[in-house]
Structure 1
């Protein structure tokens, strides 16, 4: 995807959450481990919620910030994820799934931080700082929930 504005970048991250939700859901039926299936179902629902939250940022974001040009960030620091769902999560155990999903969220948080740091107008900086805070808070909430699942 050729991303030219902060709005398109946010839309792209929304699509990443959506794609991950679909992939996790698809793989949940194929994983042989019961705990992993339960984790995949939970994570799929969480990613769908993340998609909804990011959509709200798009909808309510300052138009000046959303229209701000982004300068070639993704070509130098792409987010690495399973863009095609060839069932990667169906083959992973509980810990492997956790590592992959938390790595994905760390990459998105790093992207938001880099964009906040690089933003030249205050509205864009505030938007990406808010996205970063949301991503970090959701990652912490996810870690707590997954930790509880792991204790079972």
Structure 2
């Protein structure tokens, strides 16, 4: 997907969350570790919820911000939602799954943080700040839930 505007970026981010949800869901039934499988199920649901939430951001965002061009995006390292295999999580342990998911969310937050400083209009900056706040909140929620699951 070629990313030219904030609208493209947000749609791409939403697609990444949807793709990640599918990968996690497909891997859940294949993972032989019961705890890891339960984590994959939870994470899949969480990523599906993020997909829907970001879709709502797309729907409600200021059209002026959405149509703003992104010139510096290509300088940011691309985010990878998963490796070559859609079911690579099936072979991972609980802690490795959690680490990879947090790395993915950290990359998204780093991207939003970078773009906040580069936004040329206040509406675009506000949009990125809102999306960053969403990602930060969801990362904290994920951390809390994963820590509870790990304690069991």
TM-score (norm 1): 0.96
Cα distance, 1:88 vs structure 2: 1.1
Q: Which moved more, 1:110-119 or 1:124-133?
A: 110-119
**Length, aligned pairs only:** 152
Offset of residue 76 of structure 1: 3.8
Kept in 2, the 8 Å contact 1:79–1:107? The answer is yes
Separation in 1, partners of 2:56, 2:45? 17
Counting only pairs closer than 5 Å after superposition, residues 139-150 of structure 1 correspond to structure 2 as 139-150=139-150
- Aligned position for 1:52: 52
Which segment is superposed worse, 13-22 or 110-119? 110-119
Alignment of 1:3-152 (within 5 A): 3-74=3-74, 76-82=76-82, 84-152=84-152
Structure 1 contact 19–83 (Cα < 8 Å) conserved: no
> Is the 2:115–2:128 contact (alpha carbons within 8 Å) kept by the matching residues of 1?
yes
Q: Quick one: distance in 2 between partners of 1:74 and 1:150?
A: 37
| Cα pair distance change 1:55/1:123, threshold 3 Å | same
Alpha-carbon offset, residue 47 of structure 1: 0.1
* Structure 2: segments with no counterpart, 5+ residues: none
- RMSD between aligned residues: 1.2
Determine the C-alpha separation between the residues in 1 that align with 2:36 and 2:110.
Answer: 27
**Which structure 1 residue ranges, 5 or more long, are not aligned?**
none
